[in-house]
Homo-oligomer: A and B are copies of this chain.
Amino acid sequence: MALTTAPVAQRVRAVLRDRIERGEWPAGMALPSEAALCREFGTSRGPVRRALSGLRADGYVVGGRGRPPVVGRVVPSQSLAEFRSFTEWARAEGKTPGTRTLVLERRAAASSVAGLLELDEGAVVVDLVRVRLLDDVPIMIERASFVPDVGRYLFGIDTDTCSVSAELARHGVPLVSARHTIDAVSANRLDAEALGIAAGAPLLRERRLSKDASGRPLEHAEARYRSEFAAFRVDNRVPGASPIEVRAS
C-alpha cells in the first residue's frame, strides 16, 4: 500500500510525462520503442503499454496505429482551485506570458457591467482590453473593467509588461477572490482578428468578478480563450466525502 508499491505503469507514466513537460522530449519527437522502454525501466511490455496508453489519453503522446508514436503538444489546463493571474499560470506552466494592450480608457460602464460592479448605471469605469500570449502565440483576449478608484492605478504602468494584479496589490487593493462563470461562445469578428483565427471558431469563455478582501467587486473581466490552447481544471468531491484520499494499489 506504500507509494513504492505503486504500479510500475504509473511510475513509467510519471517519468515520461515529466520529460515531456520539462521539454526534454519536445513535441513531435519520436518516442523510444517499447522494447527500449522495457529495458530502461527493467519491466515487461504490459506496464509500458499501459503507461503509453495513459500518456496518449492525456495528449502527451499522439500517433500510433501503424505510425510511430510521437510526443504531442499538450494543452495546458488551469486549475481553478486557487485564484491566480494569467501571468502566474503561464509561469507555472513553464511558458513565457506576453501581452498586447489594445485599449486602456475611462468610459461609461455598460449597464450590465455597472450592475456587477455595484455602480450606478452610467458610472465611469476603467476598461482594459488585452491580447494574452503564451510563448508568442495569442491564446486569449481579455476585456476587463475596473471600478474607477482602483482602475486609475493602471494609467501609471505599462500594461504590456507589468502585472496588473501585482500593481493593485502594491497600492493596497489586491484582488483576493473571484467568481468565475465558464461557458463556450463563437468567436466574433473582433475576437477572430485579435487571435488570428476564423470567425465562428469555438472559444472557451471565462467571465470573472474579482473582489477585494472585504468582498467589494473591483473588476469584471471576460476572457475568451482559443480552446485548442487552454482548458480549465477542477477537482471536487461529493458532499460529505472525506477529503483524504487513500489510494489502494
Chain A interfacial positions (CB closer than 8 Å to B): 7, 9-10, 46, 49-50, 52-58, 64, 75, 77, 80-84, 111-116, 118-121, 174-186, 200-205, 211, 213-216, 225, 227, 230-239, 241-242, 245-248
Contact = CB atoms under 8 A, between A and B. Distances in A.
A175 to B, nearest CB: 7
A23 to B, nearest CB: 22
Given A46-B120, A57-B113, A64-B111, A84 B213 contact: no
Contacts of A248: 214-216
A181 B76 CA distance: 11
Nearest to A174: B238
Number of this chain's copies in the assembly equals 2
A247 B230 CA distance: 33
B227 A242 contact: no
A83 B237 contact: yes
Contacts of A183: 75, 204, 227, 230-232
20 contacts: A7-B118, A53-B120, A54-B118, A56-B111, A58-B115, A58-B116, A75-B183, A80-B80, A81-B236, A82-B237, A82-B238, A83-B237, A176-B241, A177-B245, A178-B237, A180-B235, A183-B231, A184-B202, A213-B241, A215-B247
Given A53-B111, A54-B118, A184 B181 contact: no
A53 B83 CA distance: 27
Contact of A177 (B112, B120, B185, B238): B238
A92 to B, nearest CB: 11
A201, A211, A213 — which one has the most chain B CB atoms within 10 A of its CB?
A213
Contacts of A111: 53, 56-57, 64
